[in-house]
Structure 1
Amino acid sequence: MNSTGVKADGPIGAFSLDSTVPGAVSRGFNAFLREWQTQIGDDFPQPTYSPATIRDFRVKSRVAKVHDVAITDVHGASAVRTAGTPAGVEDQVRMYVVRRGAWALGGPRDRGQHIVSTGQFLLRHVGRPSHFETAPNTTARVLVLPAATLKPLIGNRIITGPADSAEMRVLAAHTNMIHETMTDLGPAGVHAVHSTLIELVKAVALRRFDNAEPQLAPALAQAAKSLADTHLADPELTPTMLARELNVSLRTLQRAFAALGESVTAYIRHRRLEEARLALTAPHGRRNISALAAYWQFADSSHFTRVFKKRYGQTPTEYARSTGSAGN
């Protein structure tokens, strides 16, 4: 279990907890609730859970609070279920993003029950507490968001869609960055990541980005990098393809990278070179230089050798020999 040490009344708070490991189940639920109350606070109250959930709480979670936003990443090895339909009033916007398994909102007897299945998201305003239940081995992200900012945009709509849409990819990249950088953020950084998060949720609701919003640049660039990393060997990988997949103009994507001091094309080239460098030292299944050049989409072996030496100070063959590998 880890936490930032920031108390719940501060602008940020975070903790992670894993009760799936042997010996942690018996105290897993109490540890989770204690950390939630300490780090996240009463502005984001937890519901009442079923006795079965409390008794068998095998959950790996990562939670962050940024002002009036809470982000919970959860993998539940066990099922998680609330105890009936809670009473009371809430005024929040929530987003459920399911990567694996299923998240049911509302009981089976409730009108308007919704099931968020694998690869889908659901975004809606919540006016009163509602029952929920997850299937075992569900991996999901839940965002609790300020109604004052987002309810006028969403209204009474329930917005659903694929979790890998362009807007959702950028939102996912940004929330990952929040988890990774939170402990190092100063007040200006906290304000920036919060504002960007709200703008990205608006983009999901509207299914388009505000191309004039400069704070979106880091998240957009990170989403493009993550997408590029999965297509490095694809001959169709270009800045234009990335812009199309992320539903932004090529110029918007180029501006996002320029704000970070690099270009889209340079990032793709550097990542391909890095993968080729690693392949040169692989103990099994090494390709020769010509094959590597072709696989990583360089024009020919001469071009590959030239750009490799410029970046690493050695030709591919020299590098392979210096590391004890048999390059050709």
Structure 2
Amino acid sequence: MYFSTGDCAAEDKNRVWAETLSRTYFPLSAECHNTAEFRGELRSWSLGILGLSDMECDGVLYHRRRTDFANEKDSSLLITIPHRGDVHFKQAARSTKCSPGGFLVERGDMPYEFWHARRNKLWVLKVPTASVRARLGATDRLGALTFDATSGVGAYFAGAVRNTIDNIDVIPDAARELAGQQLLELLCLAMRSDDRLLSSASSTIRSAHLQRAEQFIRDNLKNPRLSSELVAESCGISQRYLQQLFAENDLSVIGYIRDERLTRCDEALKAANDTSSVASIALEWGFYDQAQFCKHYKKRFGCTPTDTRRQSRGETKREH
């Protein structure tokens, strides 16, 4: 999709620009610093479960308010990579600045303010919160964090975003979904390598043990031997202690494993160009009983796996 404010009347620019970004990301409001002279261009693409956009616009202030997401079922994160100048962000008790050479994480399930004073160029990824949670754990600590994109995995991630945008017009739909998956994995790897994510969730020995156990589970979901016994053994703790750690957070080890696997299955089912059957996707992620898989999936997502697959492919359910 491509949009430009070039033909908009000055009095309509705030509204039209806000509506355009709301369709691309999620509902928000926009206040152009100089409405009469404001110019904005936006290109956006779907990469399977991810959205990617290339935006260039003059100074603007965005608001995301509680009323904007009160009825949203699924939340998203925005990953912003600025190019020409600083962007500023405020969410909850955090205020931060992200400069070129970094990237910023914005939580869509909380109010925020985002602004840049002068014309800027931004790359923005819209990422399902559940997909990041399935790879990193709790996402509440991510809002308003900035990450380095000049070295290491962060630079590789930013380079992959650039390469995707530069070649998007010649990438077929199936390859776009694959590119989206690769960008998601690189993003999470870049964030996981940041010490703040480890220290912020590990203020006590017990929370450190829980985080280590959760990460081991997320990294081994395809292992058919994954069990509370294997998790405990790999983390060097007893099964009883492991169960206590999860119980303190109103979870069970088996329930946590099942929910993480369901999230990965849901991602695969929503991939329109994935030719795998529902049964093979379930089996790949550790579900060996199809009836139980369908039961748990419907309870979690409110529809059957087959319905999700049909919807992702634009199919309609056949009437009998």
| Relative contact order higher in (CA < 8 Å, ≥ 6 apart) | 2
TM-score norm. by structure 1 comes to: 0.47
> Which one has the largest radius of gyration?
1
TM-score norm. by structure 2 comes to: 0.48
